[in-house]
Amino acid sequence: MTQPDSLHGGPTDATLALRALARFPDRTAFAWDDGEMSYDEAAQLIGGMQAVLLRAGLVSGDCVALLSANRAECWCATIAVQALGCAVSNLHPMGPRGDHAAQIDELVPAVVIVDGQDHAVRAADLAGDCPAPQHMTLGGGGPLDLVAQARVLARTSDCPPQDRSRPELAATANFTGGTTGRPKSVLRSAGALAQISLTILADFGLPACPRYLAVAPISHVGGTKIVPVLMRGGTVHLMRGFDPVKVLQVIARDGINMTLMVPTMIYALLDHPDIEAADLSSLELLLYGAAPMAPARLAQGIERIGPVFAQLYGQTECYPIAVLSRGDHDPARPDILAACGHPVSTASVRLIASDGTDAPTGTLGEICVRAPMVMSGYRDRPEETAKALDGGWLHTGDIAVADETGRLTIVDRIKDMIVTGGFNVYPKEIEDVLTEDPAVAMAAVIGVPDDKWGEAVVAYIVAGTGQTPDKIPDKTPDTEALRARVREAKGAVHVPKAFYVVDALPLTGLGKVDKVALRAPHWEGQTRQV
């Protein structure tokens, strides 16, 4: 007898979240410097937000763009939207105004919600730049304040949280980028989000009752730990920015036993003089990812902080893919410290050689993945979706080797993307800004090894020759002005750490800039090429 497909469907992430809030009503869900929010208060706020959004006309299948600092209200808004069967697109809190506006224009969201406290200026800017959607704020007061309206409704009306989510509906539409073309919106289903949470619970070794310090943006990977923490009855301690002194203080004061950081944050902690006297004895798990850590610095971290490190590996199109567990962090095995770990329990991983066959143990192959966490596809990009999911596998673009235990070590990257300080930087975006300057005829941006940032952004530029009307003849580019131009257009993360002014860029036989040749001298002698 054939059963309906829904019979074997799992929960959504919103379902898991609302279930956790109902299970531990009196516990503290979120805490921050001057306040806290209980599980029950979070549930009430979610219900109130849903009532406001439904009155505003939000219907299942709509998209909502959200921009916020690390605030409990941000997470509540996310769950409120997803539990109504809608998708959230998280705008990067460090992104420039132009990118935010372009992404909103592409998404055509029903509502744009912006943090009215930490991003008040950007909220006003985007309301003017993108007038078509409805605009609301998280806090800040005024008639468009979603939080204020929701709390009034929660007090005066019976509006418990609703769960209209379904596993097959899109729940996120977060943007990635590429070396060519405009950024891509990656669609992930509500069921896939739930699998992320369940995989984290199964494979990441969370404490029995987590006290999680969310210092990385919860709009991105830092936020994927919140539902698992709440499912364990734990507390999420929120910070609105990284400050090494404050991090050390909060860990000691609040007995933090779990956190997630990018390597540059960890380096700042290790290099701070206060770490020697800091009480970090409560810390059981320090997750790191988004960029590799230098094995020497990782060994230093294990010595100073303890055997609490675990590395996560994934990408926007699928997260997580692999985990390097605490047990694998052995300073006596630097080869293991350079690895990204074993595949998570919910993922099937193949290393596919250039000829399409499986790469034998110890040989290079592209990491390809099948998992319930894999994206549904790129929004409105069927050809690129088909390419990324060719043959029924997600092609990550990362080249790795596997040892006899199945442990993966990434050694190169097919894509040109640079990972610096835990942030993804896409060279073409910087190259386009640089070549807007009439003093620059050509530009090529690459990542080079850097002990602090993992990779540092550097630019090779060719001075304008006067061969075209928009170029100034023989003018030497002003590199400080170029830095300022990039900072204004794309933000500080994208600013090249160094410029090399050259007579010409190396080209391939097809006339394309040969970035392999540009990278080679910088990466000579390195054990890995990312």
Q: What is the CATH number of the domain that holds 109?
A: 3.40.50.980
Identify whether residues 291 and 398 lie together within a single domain: yes
Last residue of some domain: 381, 413, 445? 413
Which has more confidence, 475 or 525? Answer: 525
Average pLDDT, the chain: 90
Neighbours of 321 (CB within 10 A): 27
Q: For residues 246 and 238, is the Cβ–Cβ distance under 8 A?
A: no
> Each residue of 388-436: pLDDT tens digit?
999 999 999 998 999 999 999 988 677 777 888 888 787 878 888 888 8
Identify whether residues 314 and 407 lie together within a single domain: yes
Q: For residues 89 and 99, is the Cβ–Cβ distance under 8 A?
A: no
Residue 345 domain boundaries: 242-413
Identify whether residues 301 and 326 lie together within a single domain: yes
Identify whether residues 246 and 387 lie together within a single domain: yes
Identify whether residues 19 and 167 lie together within a single domain: yes
What's the whole-number mean pLDDT along residues 163-175?
96
The DSSP bridge partners found for residue 348 are 370
- What's the rounded Cα separation, in Å, for the pair 228 and 155? 29
Q: Is the residue at 114 inside a domain?
A: yes
Asked whether the whole model's pTM tops 0.75, one would answer yes
Identify whether residues 130 and 54 lie together within a single domain: yes
In terms of DSSP bridges, do strands 423-425 and 408-413 run parallel, antiparallel, or are they unpaired? Answer: unpaired
3-state SS string over 80-117? HHHHCCCEEEECCCCCCHHHHHHHHHHHCCCEEEEECC
Identify whether residues 322 and 428 lie together within a single domain: no
Q: Is the residue at 34 inside a domain?
A: no
Identify whether residues 48 and 67 lie together within a single domain: yes
Q: Is the residue at 332 inside a domain?
A: yes
Q: Is the residue at 342 inside a domain?
A: yes
Identify whether residues 308 and 334 lie together within a single domain: yes
- What's the rounded Cα separation, in Å, for the pair 42 and 294? 40
Identify whether residues 65 and 152 lie together within a single domain: yes
| C-alpha closest to that of 12 among 161, 168, 162 | 168
Last residue of some domain: 369, 398, 413? 413
> Each residue of 296-353: pLDDT tens digit?
788 889 999 999 999 999 999 999 999 999 999 998 888 888 899 999 999 999 999 9
- What's the rounded Cα separation, in Å, for the pair 282 and 161? 35
Last residue of some domain: 166, 190, 214? 190
- What's the rounded Cα separation, in Å, for the pair 112 and 110? 7
For Cα atoms 204, 410, 456, give the angle at the middle one, nearest 5 degrees: 100
Identify whether residues 278 and 383 lie together within a single domain: yes
Q: Is the residue at 499 inside a domain?
A: yes
Q: In sequence order, which residues have a C-beta less than 8 Å from that of residue 262 and are 6 or more positions away?
A: 216, 288, 289, 290, 291, 421, 422, 423
Instruction: Tell how far CA 456 is from the center of its chain.
Output: 18
Q: Is the residue at 229 inside a domain?
A: no
Structural domain tally of the chain?
3
Q: Is the residue at 197 inside a domain?
A: no
What's the whole-number mean pLDDT along residues 85-108?
93
11: amino acid identity, one letter: P
Q: Is the residue at 213 inside a domain?
A: no
- The SS3 call for residue 470 is coil
- What's the rounded Cα separation, in Å, for the pair 104 and 238? 27
Is the pLDDT reported for residue 182 higher than 70?
no
> Each residue of 236-287: pLDDT tens digit?
999 998 999 999 999 999 999 999 998 888 988 988 889 999 999 999 999 9
Neighbours of 5 (CB within 10 A): 9
CATH number of the domain at 489, please: 3.30.300.30
pLDDT of residue 432: 80
Q: What are phi and psi of 194, to 5 degrees?
A: -60, -40
Helix extents (H) in 220-278: 226-231, 244-254, 263-271
Q: For residues 353 and 359, is the Cβ–Cβ distance under 8 A?
A: yes
Q: In what order do the strands lie in the sheet with 454-463?
A: 440-450, 454-463, 498-502
CATH number of the domain at 321, please: 3.40.50.12780
pLDDT of residue 181: 43
> Each residue of 453-504: pLDDT tens digit?
889 999 999 887 543 334 344 457 899 999 999 999 989 999 999 999 998 8
Identify whether residues 150 and 286 lie together within a single domain: no
C-alpha Rg value of the chain to the nearest Å: 23
